[in-house]
Amino acid sequence: MNTQNIFFRFIFIILFSVYSSSISYSKDIIKIGTLLPYSGVYTVLGEEITNAMSLAFDEIGNKINGNTIEIIKGDTEVKPNIALQKSRKLISSDKVDILVGPVSSSVALALRDIVVQTKTPLIIPNAGANVLTDEKCSKFITRISFSNYQINAPMGSWLANQGIKTAFLLAPNYAAGKEMMNAFKEKFTEAGGAILGEEYTPFRKTKDFGPYLARVKESGADAVYVFYAGGEAINFIKQAHSFGLSKVMKLTGAGWTTSPLFLPAQKDAAIGFIGSLNYVPSIDTEANKIFINSYKSKFGRIPSEFAVQGYDSGKVIIEAIKSLSGDVTNKDNLAEAIRTVSINGPRGPLTIDKKTNNVIQNIYIFEVIAGEKGPELKVLDTIKAVKAPGKKCNI
């Protein structure tokens, strides 16, 4: 090779490496699409998740490796068909890099195939549908919230061990309600408990719980085990209180039913409820205190578990993109980076189970007590590092 050739080859290599590095770092805008409810029964949950995710981005000046973070919102209205339409727009027209959502299990089931087929990394900040980290798992779906089984199964054994022998189940009639009750039932009956009856109320439509409360009372069970969230949780707890249900049996259930997000509306009607969650505001760690202070100073109220799930989604996005030096162009690499993140956040240690892509986390069993500033969640027990089983998934 003559000197001239060597010179041109050298110049080519220099130009090529400058060009390729400019491709990987020149994205300028990282687009995060949300698929969350901004209308309908779970509106406050969607807003809380979005607020807290924005807080995580604000903390780093809304930039990762020099690229600006842009949030593009999609309102699912808690309706699977609407969510699917919105996902098509976010993926094909807006060309988002990552999707964050949804809140409802039924919506999550509807979105599963489109995110996997288009290889769009999805971070689930709430919806607990079990199959998404089991037989329908994918490396493009990472759940940092919980699986419906993960929160409810521990309550089955725990309540049975506390001497509750019989229970009546009550939940909205959709995927999450059914899965939560089944998880509780499995562990409760395994530990010797008996289910005296179960009712599933029309989802998004039930305003009057009176007829159901009457059947729960008639059952004579030691406890009612329920799941409600959003407006349904507020109505249920208030109506159960006026009905006097807690005078004849223990009120227990999935902890969202008395989330700190709903307590200001439920007030003393929530006192005495026993539930389980992946976060309670009383967790005594530095990370939690800092988070509560900054959430309170920005939004004027204490954060709920939904806020923590939104905040941790933001943190996971930041850490994953940083680990790729800001290069989000390769979706396989991005999905891999997301599932590799582990953080120590407000709820405690959070790691992603490599086998299922579902979060491994502590579950807190609490009782709602009368605090100085109103009802609050007092931790009765902590079950450490709980996994979702995900036996049919092996990513």
Footprint of ligand BEZ (CB under 6 A) = 103-105, 126-128, 176, 229, 256
CB nearer ligand BEZ, residue 128 or residue 310: 128
CB nearer ligand BEZ, residue 120 or residue 145: 145
Closest to 280 in 3D by CA, of 347, 225, 229, 374: 347
CB nearer ligand BEZ, residue 143 or residue 241: 143
Residues composing the chain? 395
Closest CB 372 distance from ligand BEZ, rounded Å: 28
CB nearer ligand BEZ, residue 166 or residue 389: 389
The one-letter amino acid code at 334 reads L
The one-letter amino acid code at 241 reads H
| Cα–Cα separations (whole angstroms), residue 291 to 53, 55, 123, 346, 374 | 12, 10, 21, 6, 21
Tokens of 69: 């973070």
The one-letter amino acid code at 186 reads E
Closest CB 199 distance from ligand BEZ, rounded Å: 18
Q: Are 24 and 325 in contact (CB under 8 A)?
A: yes
CB nearer ligand BEZ, residue 132 or residue 269: 132
**Backbone dihedral region of 126: left (phi > 0), alpha (psi from -120 to 50 degrees) or beta?**
alpha
Q: Which residue has the tokens 């249920």?
A: 236
Could you give the CA distance from residue 324 to residue 327 in angstroms, rounded to a whole number? 5
| Cα–Cα separations (whole angstroms), residue 128 to 74, 80, 125, 133, 326 | 19, 15, 9, 9, 30
CB nearer ligand BEZ, residue 164 or residue 176: 176
Closest CB 208 distance from ligand BEZ, rounded Å: 21
CB nearer ligand BEZ, residue 166 or residue 173: 173
Tokens of 14: 């220099």
Which residues on adjacent β-strands are paired with residue 39? Answer: none
Burial class (CB within 10 angstroms; exposed 0-12, middle 13-18, buried 19+) of 221? buried
Could you give the CA distance from residue 282 to residue 303 in angstroms, rounded to a whole number? 11
Which residue has the closest beta carbon to ligand BEZ? 176
Closest CB 72 distance from ligand BEZ, rounded Å: 23
Could you give the CA distance from residue 243 to residue 376 in angstroms, rounded to a whole number? 22
Closest CB 115 distance from ligand BEZ, rounded Å: 17
Residue 293 CB contacts under 8 Å (≥ 6 apart), including other chains = none
CB nearer ligand BEZ, residue 179 or residue 199: 179
Closest CB 211 distance from ligand BEZ, rounded Å: 23
Closest CB 39 distance from ligand BEZ, rounded Å: 15
CB nearer ligand BEZ, residue 176 or residue 318: 176
Closest CB 338 distance from ligand BEZ, rounded Å: 20
H helix runs in 220-285, sequence order: 230-243, 263-266
Closest CB 41 distance from ligand BEZ, rounded Å: 9
Q: Which residue has the tokens 């009612």?
A: 224
